[in-house]
Structure 1
Amino acid sequence: MSLNLADIRQDYSKKELSPEDCLPDAVAQFELWLNEAMTAQVHEPTAMNVATVGEDGRPTARIVLLKGVENGQLVFYSNYHSRKGQQLAANPFVSLTFFWPELERQVRIEGRVEQVAPEVSDAYFASRPYTSRLGAWASEQSSEISSKNVLISRAAMFGVKHPLSVPRPPHWGGYAVIPDRVEFWQGRPSRLHDRVVYLLQADASWQRVRLAP
């Protein structure tokens, strides 16, 4: 049975967006939309596509959960030795994409990445469930393993080693994304969507511009 993907269409009409509607600060506008997505009980509102580029110039993307918006920066956590971590070490720039179909909205964020301070990573790691903390030790993320039993055995081993308190692995921690381009997309009828992009200026202010869909 073949799928006729060309016939899949949906017209969007819930909201409108213009530069005049937007807050002066791009991250504040993002927080506003994120709060609206959470209030609307959008499925996985903090899920974001994180795209990186390695030394070979090939882009890679995966879904990661946003864990904080602090001081104008977006924070997520990962294994520093993973493929993602290796690419960020070689090329410290990312593109983030949030898609909230229930609100007919998308946000694209581009910027530079820095590792957060160790004490910030320590505090977040300590807030994670015990089994998740063991998992950070057990999984040598992105490396090849022979079977699932390898993970189970390593998790059990670290459970014996850390029966109560699990310290943060030195290879695991947070990344802060420092945005310099943020685009807000609001679906509109007839594919005449509203797009507003914020561009970071030399004086740290944001310029707002409407883009053609």
Structure 2
Amino acid sequence: MPGDPQKARQHRKLEQPKKAASRSKLLASSKLSDAKIREVIRCYAFARSPAEAIARTGLSHVTIYRLYGLIRQRLAFFDVLISKEKFVDFINEGEEENGLRFKWEEFERFIQQAVGNHRGIKPHNRALYVSEAIYRFEGHHSPQQLYRLIMMTIRAGGPLNRAPAFGASWPLTMEIIRLNMLRARAVLRRGGVQSELAWLLPALNAFEERAGRPI
């Protein structure tokens, strides 16, 4: 008597090995492909909202919020994102040394608008959202540069969902310095500042040659 076809199909299904989690360098023990994770990282770097990232990647809101949170934590660990306290101290020192007045009202409005009553903000992660808003306010890096920095923090500290280490952070440090030099040189080439601080340009050019990459 022939066996039950339905039971045979169920038996074959049970015999199939479970799909193992990929050995991703970006996210440990993850079923997501590196290509999909890079897509999420790119969304973050280009300041896409979680809703936009969900639409672009097809991932759930839980996954997007989790990955965005891990990216913020990693950037904060390597001081790409800084706390509001550090930022305020830095600005206050600059005001004392240079006599320039920072636009605090504009800054606070920007932070409030950026953070506001964001869906993902909780007491335990609010500081990271504020740090991210400060980073966006300063606008030091282009989206492409931020994407590169995020990828370098992963190479330096390991998968996003594992405790990071400083093991190989020197290339990341050099890249941040390089980008800061790029910004400084752009400032020097604008307006009257160029003539007053033109002596810095040879130093920036020398750093560019030593770093081995064009600024």
The answer to whether the superposition gives a TM-score over 0.5 is no
Greater percentage in strand: 1
Interval containing the TM-score (normalised by the shorter chain): under 0.3
TM-score in terms of structure 2 length: 0.24
Higher relative contact order structure (alpha carbons within 8 Å, sequence separation ≥ 6): 1
**Structure ranking higher in helix proportion:** 2
